[in-house]
């Protein structure tokens, strides 16, 4: 075994895929999740995929005493990957205090406990939302941080600053901030994937739910943007590839290879794909026709953003590997599996 890693939000979408990759790379994992946006059976499915059932603690990161007990029960945690957060942009506008409390206090609790229990570092789930609409594309880590469009986006910016300030104050810890672009797809086993609560806010679950007949029609918000086909452009990153980036980050941290105490990496493919291109690729990859229509622009949408992942490629040694066709087939396979399980 290589080391014990605490994964908050480890039964969630990106967290569960990361736990699989960590275990397959011989790390020992302790999951903390309050199951506010995930299901306990994810732990069993991770066990089925990897042959190892990770330790699971149903604990809220806001509950400081309960969180501290986790560190006591699982002595020797070397690093944390902190996924646990509320993540619905629209809901964050309606309930800003819920978002500020959950996303910021959870991180503060962890940072306060880390030195007491000798935890060497934290990998934090940040987002390309910190760049807003970049002036230059592809966007590098040097691009200026733009004023956040939502309380959710603001929590990512504030949390990045909290981590910088904590390290600067002399607390003996390292950090790696991973700015994800748009994670999509599911594990090739079809056993874990994204499980949206209610009406999906993200494009892919809405798209696959439309394809399977749960939703009537997929709306494409705007075809009059300044892009080749007029629809918005994003950098869609396969969730297993994204999960692997965390394993590279943890190895770099625990092997003491960081150049700076806080490092920042874009985690994307480097390729911008328009919403219409994504729909057509889904249709050709799966043979399933999608009922979609173009509607007006949606407030707050960024026109186009894609990553320059050169730093992650060179410094972390990580590359996005999976093609869009395979990724979209995995998302469709996951939707079919959910139906078999009677979930959606
Ligand atoms: N999915 C994306 O498009 C995306 C993009 C950029 C960044 N991120 C960030 O990546 C992280 C993981 O996102 P995801 O898509 O896997 O979301 P998710 O909702 O599937 O996973 C988050 C998990 O955290 C848990 N959780 C939330 N608050 C908690 C708390 N207080 N204590 C314990 N557990 C708690 C939830 O139950 C859930 O299992 C989040 O920080 C998110 O903001 C996600």
Instruction: At 83, give phi and psi (nearest 5°).
Output: -95, -30
The verdict on the CB of residue 307 being under 6 Å from ligand 1 is: no
The verdict on the CB of residue 106 being under 6 Å from ligand 1 is: yes
Residue 255 — very low, low, confident or very high, per pLDDT cuts 50/70/90? very high
Burial annotation 287-304 (CB, 10 A radius, 16+ → b, else e): ebeeebeeeeeeeeebeb
Contacts of 253 (CB under 8 A, 6+ apart): 79, 120, 121, 123, 174, 176
Residue 114's pLDDT is 98
Nearest residue (CA) to ligand 1, atom 35: 84
Distance from Cα 288 to the centre of ligand 1, integer Å:
30
Assigned superfamily of 4-184+236-267: NAD(P)-binding Rossmann-like Domain (3.40.50.720)
Contacts of 156 (CB under 8 A, 6+ apart): 103, 126, 127, 129, 130, 148
The verdict on the CB of residue 87 being under 6 Å from ligand 1 is: yes
Residues forming CATH 3.90.25.10 domain(s) in the chain: 203-234+270-339
Distance from Cα 344 to the centre of ligand 1, integer Å:
20
pLDDT exceeds cutoff 90 at 197:
no
Nearest residue (CA) to ligand 1, atom 21: 12
86-128 pLDDT per residue, tens? 999 989 999 999 999 999 999 999 999 999 999 999 999 999 9
Half-sphere exposure in the Cβ direction for 82 (13 Å, CA): 33
Residues forming CATH 3.40.50.720 domain(s) in the chain: 4-184+236-267
Q: What does the alpha-carbon distance between residue 11 and residue 312 come to, in Å, rounded to a whole number?
A: 25
pLDDT exceeds cutoff 80 at 344:
no
Distance from Cα 212 to the centre of ligand 1, integer Å:
25
Q: What does the alpha-carbon distance between residue 34 and residue 31 come to, in Å, rounded to a whole number?
A: 10
pLDDT exceeds cutoff 90 at 231:
yes
Residue 48's pLDDT is 98
Residue 299's pLDDT is 83
As beta bridge partners, residue 292 has 218
Half-sphere exposure in the Cβ direction for 183 (13 Å, CA): 26
DSSP-derived letter for residue 303 is S
Give this prediction's pTM: 0.98
The verdict on the CB of residue 58 being under 6 Å from ligand 1 is: no
Share of the chain above pLDDT 70, in %: 100
Give the mutation target among 6, 10, 12, 163 for probing the ligand 1 site: most ligand atoms within 8 A of CB. Answer: 12
Assigned superfamily of 203-234+270-339: UDP-galactose 4-epimerase, domain 1 (3.90.25.10)
The verdict on the CB of residue 61 being under 6 Å from ligand 1 is: yes
The verdict on the CB of residue 302 being under 6 Å from ligand 1 is: no
271-323 pLDDT per residue, tens? 999 999 999 999 999 999 999 999 999 988 899 999 999 999 999 999 999 99
The verdict on the CB of residue 11 being under 6 Å from ligand 1 is: yes
Give the mutation target among 16, 18, 31, 37 for probing the ligand 1 site: most ligand atoms within 8 A of CB. Answer: 37
As beta bridge partners, residue 296 has none
Residue 68's pLDDT is 98
Distance from Cα 85 to the centre of ligand 1, integer Å:
4
In Å, how far from its chain's centre is CA 258? 22
- Mean pLDDT taken over the chain: 97
Residue 198's pLDDT is 84
The verdict on the CB of residue 127 being under 6 Å from ligand 1 is: yes
Number of C-beta neighbours around residue 217 at 10 A: 11
CA distances from 256 to 121, 316, 339 (A): 10, 13, 45
Interaxial angle between packed helices 64-73 and 106-116, expressed in degrees from 0 to 180 and rounded to the nearest 10: 40
Q: What is the mean pLDDT of residues 244-267?
A: 98
Q: Which ligand 1 atom lies nearest to the CA of residue 182?
A: 3
Residue 201's pLDDT is 85
322-336 pLDDT per residue, tens? 999 999 999 999 999
Structure tokens at 37: 């946006």
Active-site positions? 152
46-97 pLDDT per residue, tens? 999 999 999 999 999 999 999 999 999 999 999 999 999 999 998 999 999 9
Q: What does the alpha-carbon distance between residue 49 and residue 51 come to, in Å, rounded to a whole number?
A: 6
Q: Nearest to residue 221, comparing CAs of 212, 233, 209, 213?
A: 233
236-250 pLDDT per residue, tens? 999 999 999 999 999
Residue 343's pLDDT is 85
138-169 pLDDT per residue, tens? 999 999 999 998 999 999 999 999 999 999 99
Q: Please give the residue that has the higher pLDDT: either 273 or 342.
A: 273
């Amino acid at each position: 075994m290589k080391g014990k890693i605490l994964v908050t939000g480890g039964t969630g979408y990106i967290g569960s895929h990361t736990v699989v990759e960590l275990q397959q790379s011989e790390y020992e994992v302790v999951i903390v999740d309050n199951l506010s946006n995930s299901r306990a059976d994810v732990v069993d499915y991770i066990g089925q995929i990897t042959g190892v059932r990770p330790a699971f603690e149903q604990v809220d990161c806001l509950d400081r005493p309960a969180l501290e007990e986790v560190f006591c029960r699982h002595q020797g945690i070397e690093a944390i990957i902190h996924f646990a957060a509320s993540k619905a942009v629209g809901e964050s506008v309606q309930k800003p205090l819920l978002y500020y409390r959950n996303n910021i206090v959870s991180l503060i609790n962890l940072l306060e406990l880390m030195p007491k229990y000798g935890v060497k570092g934290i990998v934090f789930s940040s987002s390309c939302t910190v760049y807003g609409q970049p002036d230059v594309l592809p966007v590098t880590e040097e691009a200026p941080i733009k004023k956040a469009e939502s309380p959710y986006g603001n929590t990512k910016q504030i949390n990045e600053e909290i981590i910088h300030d904590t390290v600067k104050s002399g607390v003996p810890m390292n950090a790696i901030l991973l700015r994800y672009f748009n994670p999509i797809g599911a594990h090739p086993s079809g056993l874990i994937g994204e499980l949206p609560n209610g009406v999906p806010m993200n494009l892919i679950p809405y798209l696959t739910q439309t394809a399977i007949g749960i939703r009537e029609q997929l709306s494409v918000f705007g075809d009059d943007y300044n892009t080749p086909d007029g629809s918005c452009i994003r950098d869609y990153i396969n969730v297993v590839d994204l999960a692997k980036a965390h394993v590279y980050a943890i190895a770099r941290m625990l092997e003491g290879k960081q150049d700076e105490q806080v490092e920042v990496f874009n985690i994307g493919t480097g390729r911008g794909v328009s919403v219409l291109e994504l729909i057509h690729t889904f249709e050709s990859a799966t043979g399933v026709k999608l009922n979609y229509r173009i509607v007006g622009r949606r407030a707050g949408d960024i026109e186009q953003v894609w990553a320059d992942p050169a730093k992650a490629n060179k410094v972390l040694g990580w590359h996005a590997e999976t093609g869009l066709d395979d990724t979209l087939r995995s998302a469709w396979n996951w939707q079919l599996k959910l139906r078999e399980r009677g979930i959606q």
